[in-house]
Structure 1
Amino acid sequence: MIESQINKTIFPHGKLNFLLKFIFIFSIFFDINFTFLPSITTARICFLVLLLVSVNKKKVFAKTFYNFLFSLSLVFLVALIQYSFSSDSAQLSRLLWFTLYSIIAPFLFISFIKSRNELLYLISFTVALQAILTILSFINPSIKALFYNLIIFTSNFDEDQVLRAVAFASIGGAGLSVIQSIGVISSLVLLKINNNGFYRTILLWFIIIIIIVSIVLIGRTGLFISFFSLIIYFINQIKKIKNIVLISLISVTIYQVNLISILENLTSGINGFSVDVFTEWIENAFKLKNNDTSEALASMPIPPINLQTIIGTGRVVHESGIGNASGNDSGYIQTYYSLGLLISVFFYTIYILFLRNQINRTSSKSLYILLFIMFTIEIKEPFIFQYVFPFFVLSIILVSNKIKINSDSRLYIE
């Protein structure tokens, strides 16, 4: 009986159907570039397949969709002109993949998603699987070596480093940690919108814990997003007495666990790994003073406003081919330096207005929290041009618009 209820909730349209969508999400999220196919990534293959299967599927796009694409084409035209002077195609590439993956792909993919529950379970399971693979690669050097043999990594650290885990994905570090945090957000939303039974609740909390453990091993940006999401969830749930008791019990239980001892045992076979250095690296992220991330960002140069930066330099990559041309990691600064002040302001403005216009009046206000997170983390790195978080945000907005407002919408969302 219990298994039947879980299958009905998680696999409402069959396990094979769910598996195919699961593979698509995994391929899009982690965009694996295999060593034996260096010019092709899993995201590109999946986008091509998505286009092919969508050919005969009737689509009706809102006027705002075409208006935004037209506005993006103007930005693309400016970037093309700038490219003719700079010979740096990085910004053109960023705009192209942003348009395909962050704007067009969600509209096509969401037509194959029947409910918000289905999308959220797909994402939660996808990220949970990656979390398990990440943890295994961290504690088992053989698995890590296998990943390095199979995958072309874009991270700026090599196989010899021991403080950060790698995953079955080409991306690593902060970018991967942000993707993993999407799994935490999805699981928390599932806990919030459904009347989950005991087993499903335990499953979702287990997924959240596993994902957070993987994020700890990957990067701190995703950890901030996850903790922020947990705080929002707990504030929302603390209205009920039973939830206060449950949260208190969970907090006390976690406090009693000797996490340092567990970490020492798991990493005892990793040569060169220091638990003290690792914990200091994690703790530093939560310091209000002497925080190495904020200090590093503050110390990075901001190109002055002049004629060149107003009209745009067209450069993202430094002329030497190493590092970024602006000298700053911030996504806003990099875009400002490349596209110019006027066009970069235009780009971010039309993008946030486009997303705002996609949110129906009947949609949850929590969607605005996702917008807040996405445009806040852009301060640190150009995560918008890494496309996964934007793909998630637009997808969840579009699938939320499909919800029928009825008495049982919290249980079965269509």
Structure 2
Amino acid sequence: MRVIDLRGQNLSTAELLSVVPRATAAKAHALETAAAIVADVRDRGEAALREQATQFDGATGHAIRVPQHHIDEAIASLEPDVRSALEEAIRRVRLASAAQVPAPAVTELGGGARVIQRWQPVARVGVYVPGGKAVYPSSVIMNVVPAQIAGVSAVALASPPQRAFVGRVHPTILAAAGLLGVTEIYAMGGAGAIGALAYGVESLELAPVDVVTGPGNNFVAAAKRAVAGVVGIDAEAGATEILVVADDTANADFVAADLISQAEHDEQSGSVLVTFSPDLADAVSARIAAMVPLTKHAERVAIALGGEQSAIVLVDDLKTAAAFSNAYGPEHLEIQTAHASADAAIFTNAGALFIGDYAPVSLGDYLAGSNHVLPTSGQARYASGLGAHTFLRPQQVVEYSREALENVAADLVALSTAEDLPAHGEAVTARFAPRD
């Protein structure tokens, strides 16, 4: 991994943003390509999806709308230990997601004057589950469970057709969906799937959704940008990333293992260590060199760790580490310091925080109860991870009696006159005019 040495420098936020390790070229290319793919699906529907499946997934003649017996077979063939783990993950994510649903509130502004705050779920959601270099039944849970907790009435799920399974969606993904009661599933992947969910495909009886969620590569993220405004999106989640802040009390083996775990996802994954301990930096570098050849996806990991998006960053102190991390806005932030719980207070920009030696990101990927669909590429500076709130819209319900409206009528007329919108005031005074 390359080293970025920021010691002895007092950098502004803008300067920190200019030095954070990011891969940008791939995203720029993805946006143009994804927009064209989405437009093709919008215009040609199923025909475009089938051509894309042949080109990108090596699948032909498959059932894009997954029949129920495929789901039933997948559940029946699920290994007992995997089923048990999925069911426990579902239980935990349900509990944590339920805490994200705000209670209705009523504000009494005077006699007969009230504003009711309610949270209304969207009607229909499209969930995307990747299926490239890994299998993600956990992403089924992380997307579907919060939608169900929010009260969404219809969930459509899309995942790429697998050449190894004769064009079917991976059976473990089907099984996870089946355990959650999802029956509307489509074997389609990448940017084309995002376009299909957003615009609908009549020949597949796929109706457009209201919100599209789910992780994916740069092309999926770019496709979400292309359909934003047509539908709601959770975020433009691209390649995964981890930032570890550690001091000289951290365990180098733990840090190295966590950096490698994220690099395992994809060659574009970002793994960053920020430390004010040169000794730890050297130790982690040495452990990575020793551990990478031993992991199953060593080639993929080595490319990711050696890419421009990964680095060991040397800083002077915890305060500077926090400034760097807050500028970076990591998807996953691990804090492995002597006083990690207290130190976490100054780290404000992250999709999710993992505190201490025994809260690795992989815990959040599966069984922490938190959601693993999180903002990437610095979006954590202004956006949140996926949750029940993603599928809820705050709505205000205004209830005023005749007397309550009469009490504010003069003020309302004064304001409407000041804004040169007299009809606004007349809409109020008309209610109190003498009737013939």
TM-score range, shorter chain: under 0.3
Higher-strand-fraction structure: 2
Higher-helix-fraction structure: 1
Higher radius of gyration, 1 or 2: 2
Q: TM-score, normalised by structure 1?
A: 0.24
